[in-house]
Amino acid sequence: MLKIPTILIAVMIVIVIVTLITKFSDIGTGTVEPKSPNPESVIPPVETNPKKQQDDYLRNVSYNNAIYFEDAFYNWQNLFDIFAYNSNDSAFSINDSIARYQNLVKIIKNPNREFNKAGSDKILQEYGDIILEESAYYKLDWRLILAMIKQESAFTPDAVSHAGAYGFMQIMPRTGSMLEQTLNLEDHRSPVNNLKAGIYYYAMLVGRFDGAGDTNKYKFALASYNAGSGHTEDAMSMAYYFNENYLDWDVVKEYMKLLAPGNDSLHQLVWGARPPNGVFANWKEPYNYVDNIIWFWQQYKKNYPLPEDNPKSNIKKKKKK
């Protein structure tokens, strides 16, 4: 057990040294010039550096190191659990420790999702008409909305979050007041109005990210519904700065990590200050939120199939006639 403090002290010393090196490294003074006009939709409010040498240096110094430390210490409790493993146990071995760690990481990164159709059947019986009607009006797949309700409130009409979000669609009070005026609703807390307001708000976000194309626009809108469009656009801006595809959610979600506190030098390089919408400590929530809803969406597609899901079978049927 005496080895544990020594290991922890060594880890802390390494973190301090690398942090100091990263903070005080000379990052170059190349001229920053605006990039050519962006494609349509959201325009990242950043400039890019045409000098590849500095760009590569920034990647190595700031981006890769930040990702490395995030991955290394994301599950520090599990690492501690492994280091604290009873070395006097005759069954202990290095291979066993590695296997336990890999299993822990697998569980955390890929949580078991349980699918139960009972909840969705019930809500469709009670509120299916309004869900289908509103979804059709905004040209959304109602099964995606069903997945959102599942993730947001577990189909509980009066669910209240610790932050005060309410109802099926977990609408915050301030947003709810705005939506009441926009949609001329008496309230946003009754189940029907909560669905109307939430579906409208999500549809508005989908429209905002329409330039990202099918699938991606839904993912960006989901991230924005959860964390606010500001943080989503900051992550897009960072991806754009590094000449990555800022309209691909799978690319952008990795940059969302770098909005967290502790990346001040990187933020200074991209914006000359803090991110426009502030640092984002809770980046893990939208990161996982999008994946969860997309997964539930796929399950509902399987359980509530529509003719348009399999256009080839429709063509065959028409030919037979």
In the structure encoding, which two tokens stand for residue 108, read together?
A: 């955390």
* Closest among 72, 56, 63 to 15, alpha carbons compared: 72
User: Per the residue annotation, which of 40, 47, 70, 152 is the catalytic one?
Assistant: 152
Smallest CA-to-CA distance from 170 within 197, 144, 210 is with: 197
308 is catalytic: no
- CA-nearest of 157, 155, 165 to 192 is 157
Q: In whole angstroms, what separates CA 72 from the centre of its chain?
A: 20
Distance separating alpha carbons of residues 200 and 135, to the nearest angstrom: 9
Cβ neighbours for 294, distance < 8 A, ≥ 6 positions apart: 147, 219, 222
DSSP class per residue in 281-301: TTTHHHHHHHHHHHHHHHHHH
CB 75 within 8 A of CB 268: no
Residue 290 burial (C-beta neighbours within 10 Å; 0-12, 13-18, 19+): buried
DSSP state of 32: P
For 185, other C-beta atoms within 10 Å of its C-beta total 18
Among residues 184, 227, 183, the alpha carbon closest in space to that of 205 is found at 227
User: Which residues are the active-site residues?
Assistant: 152
